[in-house]
Structure 1
């Protein structure tokens, strides 16, 4: 394919993406919505007939009147320069910062999170993970799953994926 044609094709895709998002500032910049819609209505369901959540999360969240969903791929504890912090606490904070950056790139925040799955590499990380998650999410309590698993790269001590709704 001709290089000029490929560049034009990419520019067209960027323009279409920006238009679809309602981003008048341009591709990759914070969205400025032409027709602002109210945030999704999110209802927490914690029935008394089910064992209550052990931490700050909801057993189920119902999303109604949403305009869009954002699926955040598993975020590993790598900085943009490729460096991985030392120790679980620093890695957990970095993985959460990466989640927040993806949310921000879509013009969303932690209040839009409806589901978070965290993959830990050791059961001993559970309490520290819970503490850092609470710091990052504040009072917001999305549906939550924590799994003990092996990560693709052994230097990563966790991975976090999420779903957000607006």
Structure 2
């Protein structure tokens, strides 16, 4: 078993952690994707008061982190979404990038606040990527 940690430039971390931790298990690798927020490649928040804009950036960051490990949305097996209180879940459902043929298990949590007061949504994921 080998563990590697990665921070792709398209989804910069906003604190001291790895955006993705890869655990190689031989025939497959597990990808543990940290909570992603609406920060672009320049480290700037996208859509300060706009849930749709933030969600779009979060999903772009998720795609970028997965791609950096040779994976895509179809490899995600578990997704957790944290929505700040007052946000409209219908906005997230409308922008959901997952194909109906590869829907992950999912948990949605409404929270009073996220780590930064301007963040409206955060998404973390677990993916499985075949290696053989």
**What stretches of structure 2 of length at least 5 have no aligned partner?**
9-25
Pair 1:97 & 2:57 matched = no
TM-score normalised by L of structure 2: 0.72
What is the SS of the residue equivalent to 1:128? helix
Bigger proportion of residues as helix: 1
Normalising by structure 1, we get a TM-score of 0.58
Counting strand residues as a fraction of each chain, which structure ranks higher?
2
Give, in angstroms, the shift of residue 107 of structure 1.
Answer: 0.2
- Moved >2 Å (runs of 4+): none
1:143 partnered with 2:105: yes
User: How much is the aligned-residue C-alpha RMSD, in angstroms?
Assistant: 2.2
Q: Max radius of gyration: which structure?
A: 1
Shift of 1:83: 1.6
Matches within 5 A, 1:51-70: 67-70=28-31
* Runs of 5+ unmatched residues, structure 1: 1-16, 22-27, 29-64
Quick one: higher RCO (CA 8 Å, sep 6+), 1 or 2? 2
Alpha-carbon shift at residue 131 of structure 1 (Å) = 1.2
